[in-house]
């Protein structure tokens, strides 16, 4: 939530900051703003700022009409509102009492009410409803007392509670930007004679691919020539340098109307990349970032998967695969619920945290809780250097590349791949599957990218179907076994971007209530299991018959060659033939295309749906 940018260097700061905000806008788009330090001849300097409610385009319009003065030091923000409505006044940056310090913030300052009352008692006038403005005043009080901006930031961070990334500039100190982080993302971009700050590397990827990851509770100062890191007490600290393995083209739409559509079509490559290098020369599975010894894996007696939203559905698929291949019991839990049910955890429990962004606050808090109970934590994540993998004992990185559309697509498919790899790896170590069985599944996985291509080649059929449903207000999705999470994911995609009432159900649950929703003409998308599992297939057909008998229009996703389904399908979308456990990798794709096309036809902003943000860094 919220995108943050900072810059010091020879370029015009306004351009660099606004460009960075454009790349981070997927993180929040309620309002946007920039602040620049404008040096004055006799020293001193002043802050020039502009901010505007709504999308970044609104701010750009303001800036086009009234360009800010030239400056080489600036900060910017794109907001997902927590405290106060998304209007011009609450937009960041916020200024201190004397307009000397400008500051942007991501996160929540939990003790802001108390801090605000103290400031107000001292006659500070706070114009916004935000927690951020309080921090701007506090930092400014410190610099006014004579310390530099770095010390001011360190001191203020010591009194703040909650989660925050803060980035500030001081009008009297035009050559530096100072930032701090606690439980909220921030990376440094290392250039030549210039440095950048961003909520993620997309903010500066067109200028540099060299990045520096910061630890928890650290303050960082960037100048043209260097980066200096300390903890909140001012003790020197170090960041971890890394090279970003994707470039600007990955963060561009590449001729597509939406990032989401581009990302759907990137899935064959994303899946293939996530499988690359996972087999040793001897043919054994290897997971480089696993960091858990074989003995530790053999000791695991229970797995708890924690995740949110789409990642949670990947976890549901993982349960089927892990239990089937390793015989280890698996629980799947929403990360927002996990801590509050007092889960039973010990050293023999492996907690698997699935998070595309690696920053989801609920998931982060859940893994911290697990670690206090001596459980090992393995993260499945797409974002190198993010907090969740950093705080985990082991990590499997997915290699989807940057996912910018708020609705996750390639993130989901690559999470599935990582879950299958984890399951197979554990089966290898524990000896619950023979090597040739593991090889066979790996070969099936390696065939998936081409099979996804074939689904994508049929996109037009799905687009036509979406066109037929422009007037629809409600859609149901049915699945069984690994098709059940696919049904949930299909429904979530429609809710997120088409704003339709959409529900996914396990087909067997229909007659326990949901069937009452079925009325004449209601579209029901049915994920039909492959025929290898005849019982499953037959049961699914019974469910389809039940809704059809009550007037539903059945849209069935079934594998090529499945003729039994034909009499029960009003519309038939063919899927490649894959084993039941791997079917989510192909069955999800038409549902993504359906949601993307329908939302487009309805005139919605597919990449930036209302009320949502890509990275949910508040609980």
Nearer CB in complex with ligand AGP: 355/451:
355
Among 200, 496, 559, 562, which residue sits at the site for ligand AGP (rule: CB under 6 A)? 496
Residue 616 Cβ, how far from ligand AGP at the closest point, in Å?
5
Tokens of 347: 């050293």
CA–CA gap between residue 201 and residue 113 (Å, rounded): 33
Touching ligand AGP, residues 381-440 (CB under 6 A): 406-408
Residue 356 Cβ, how far from ligand AGP at the closest point, in Å?
4
Give me the sheet containing 553-559, strands edge to edge: 501-506, 474-479, 523-527, 553-559, 571-575
Question: Which of 476, 602, 610, 490 has its CA nearest to residue 544?
Answer: 476
Contacts of 537 (CB under 8 A, 6+ apart): 528, 529, 530, 531, 562, 564
Q: List Cα–Cα distances, 10 to 150, 174, 194, 295, in angstroms.
A: 22, 13, 7, 54
Nearer CB in complex with ligand AGP: 229/589:
589
614 labelled catalytic: yes
Residue 295 Cβ, how far from ligand AGP at the closest point, in Å?
30
CA–CA gap between residue 269 and residue 208 (Å, rounded): 24
CA–CA gap between residue 141 and residue 152 (Å, rounded): 8
Residue 476 Cβ, how far from ligand AGP at the closest point, in Å?
19
User: What's the first-to-final CA gap in the chain, in angstroms?
Assistant: 11
Catalytic residue among 51, 376, 410, 614: 614
Nearer CB in complex with ligand AGP: 285/396:
396
Among 14, 31, 326, 355, which residue sits at the site for ligand AGP (rule: CB under 6 A)? 355
Among 308, 494, 552, 556, which residue sits at the site for ligand AGP (rule: CB under 6 A)? 308
526 labelled catalytic: no
- By CB under 6 A, tell whether 310 contacts ligand AGP: yes
Among 360, 392, 472, 554, which residue sits at the site for ligand AGP (rule: CB under 6 A)? 360
Among 309, 401, 449, 523, which residue sits at the site for ligand AGP (rule: CB under 6 A)? 309
Long-range interactions of 560-564: CB distance < 8 A, separation 24+: 561/531, 562/528, 562/530, 562/531, 562/537, 564/531, 564/537
Nearer CB in complex with ligand AGP: 406/466:
406
How many chain residues bind ligand AGP (CB under 6 A)?
15
Nearer CB in complex with ligand AGP: 143/308:
308
SS3 label, residue 377 = strand
Catalytic residue among 2, 419, 526, 596: 2
Nearer CB in complex with ligand AGP: 364/558:
364
Question: Which of 65, 74, 60 has its CA nearest to residue 12?
Answer: 74
Q: At what angle do helices 267-275 and 410-430 cross, to 10 degrees?
A: 20
Among 14, 363, 384, 428, which residue sits at the site for ligand AGP (rule: CB under 6 A)? 363
Among 356, 414, 583, 588, which residue sits at the site for ligand AGP (rule: CB under 6 A)? 356
Q: List Cα–Cα distances, 19 to 13, 24, 56, 503, 546, in angstroms.
A: 10, 9, 10, 38, 53
CA–CA gap between residue 167 and residue 180 (Å, rounded): 7
Residue 223 Cβ, how far from ligand AGP at the closest point, in Å?
32
Q: Which stretch binds ligand AGP (CB under 6 A): 304-312, 370-378, 393-401, 476-484?
A: 304-312
Per-residue x/- mask for ligand AGP, residues 562 to 581, rule CB under 6 A?
A: --------------------
With beta carbons less than 8 A apart as the criterion, state whether 125 and 137 touch: no
Residue 140 Cβ, how far from ligand AGP at the closest point, in Å?
34
Nearer CB in complex with ligand AGP: 418/547:
418
Per-residue x/- mask for ligand AGP, residues 312 to 351, rule CB under 6 A?
A: ----------------------------------------
Contacts of 583 (CB under 8 A, 6+ apart): 482, 483, 486, 527, 529, 530, 575
With beta carbons less than 8 A apart as the criterion, state whether 27 and 66 touch: no
DSSP bridge pairs for 527 = 557
Residue 179 Cβ, how far from ligand AGP at the closest point, in Å?
22
Question: Which residues form the interface with ligand AGP (CB under 6 A)?
Answer: 308-311, 355-357, 360, 363, 406-408, 496, 615-616
**Catalytic residue annotation:** 2, 614
């Amino acid at each position: 939530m919220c995108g943050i940018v900072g810059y010091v260097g020879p370029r015009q700061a306004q351009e660099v900051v606004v460009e960075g905000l454009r790349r981070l806008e997927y993180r929040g788009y309620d309002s946007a703003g920039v602040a620049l330090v404008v040096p004055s001849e006799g020293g001193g300097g002043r802050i020039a700022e502009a901010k505007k409610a709504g999308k970044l385009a609104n701010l750009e319009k303001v800036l086009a009409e009234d360009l800010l003065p030239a400056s080489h030091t600036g900060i910017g923000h794109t907001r997902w509102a927590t405290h106060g409505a998304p209007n011009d006044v609450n937009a960041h940056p916020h200024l201190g009492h004397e307009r000397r310090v400008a500051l942007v913030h991501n996160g929540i300052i939990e003790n802001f009410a108390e801090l605000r009352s103290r400031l107000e008692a001292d006659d500070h006038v706070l114009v916004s409803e935000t927690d951020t403005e309080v921090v701007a005043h506090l930092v400014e009080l410190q610099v006014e007392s004579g310390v530099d901006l770095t010390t001011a930031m360190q001191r203020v961070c010591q009194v703040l509670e909650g989660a925050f990334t803060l980035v500030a500039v001081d009008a009297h100190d035009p050559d530096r930007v100072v930032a701090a982080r606690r439980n909220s993302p921030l990376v440094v971009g290392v250039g030549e004679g210039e440095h950048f700050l961003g909520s993620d590397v997309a903010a500066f990827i067109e200028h540099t691919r060299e990045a520096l990851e910061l630890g928890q509770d650290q303050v960082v100062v960037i100048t043209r020539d260097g980066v200096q890191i300390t903890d909140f007490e001012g003790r020197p600290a170090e960041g971890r340098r890394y090279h970003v393995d994707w470039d600007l083209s990955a963060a561009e739409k590449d001729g597509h109307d939406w990032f989401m559509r581009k990302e759907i079509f990137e899935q064959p490559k994303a899946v293939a990349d996530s499988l690359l290098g996972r087999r040793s020369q001897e043919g054994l599975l290897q997971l480089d970032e696993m960091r858990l010894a074989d003995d530790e894996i053999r000791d695991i007696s229970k797995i708890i998967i924690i995740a949110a939203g789409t990642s949670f559905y990947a976890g549901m698929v993982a349960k089927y695969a892990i239990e089937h291949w390793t015989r280890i019991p698996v629980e799947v839990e929403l990360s927002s619920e996990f801590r509050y049910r007092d889960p039973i955890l010990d050293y023999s429990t492996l907690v698997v945290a699935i998070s595309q962004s690696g920053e989801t606050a609920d998931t982060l808090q859940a893994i911290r809780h697990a670690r206090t109970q001596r459980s090992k934590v393995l993260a499945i994540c797409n974002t190198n250097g993010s907090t969740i993998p950093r705080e985990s004992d082991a990590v499997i990185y997915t290699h989807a590349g940057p996912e910018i559309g708020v609705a996750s697509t390639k993130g989901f498919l690559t999470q599935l791949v990582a879950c299958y790899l984890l399951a197979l790896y554990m089966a290898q170590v524990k000896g619950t599957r023979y090597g040739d069985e593991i090889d066979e599944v790996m070969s099936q996985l390696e065939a998936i990218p081409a099979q996804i291509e074939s689904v994508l080649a049929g996109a037009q059929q799905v687009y036509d179907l979406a066109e037929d449903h422009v007037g629809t207000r409600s859609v149901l999705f049915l699945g069984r076994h690994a098709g059940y999470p696919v049904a949930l994911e299909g429904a979530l995609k429609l809710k997120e971007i088409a704003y339709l009432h959409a529900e996914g159900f396990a087909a067997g649950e229909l007659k326990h209530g949901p069937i009452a929703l079925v009325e004449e003409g209601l579209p029901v998308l049915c994920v039909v299991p492959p025929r290898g599992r005849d019982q499953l297939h037959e049961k699914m057909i019974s469910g389809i018959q039940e809704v059809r008998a009550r007037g539903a229009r059945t849209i069935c996703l079934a594998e090529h060659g499945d003729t039994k389904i034909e009499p029960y399908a009003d519309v038939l979308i063919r899927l490649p033939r894959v084993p039941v456990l791997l079917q989510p990798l192909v069955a999800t794709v038409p549902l993504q295309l359906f949601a993307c096309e329908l939302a487009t036809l309805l005139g919605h902003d597919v990449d930036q749906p209302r009320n949502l943000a890509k990275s949910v860094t508040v609980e």
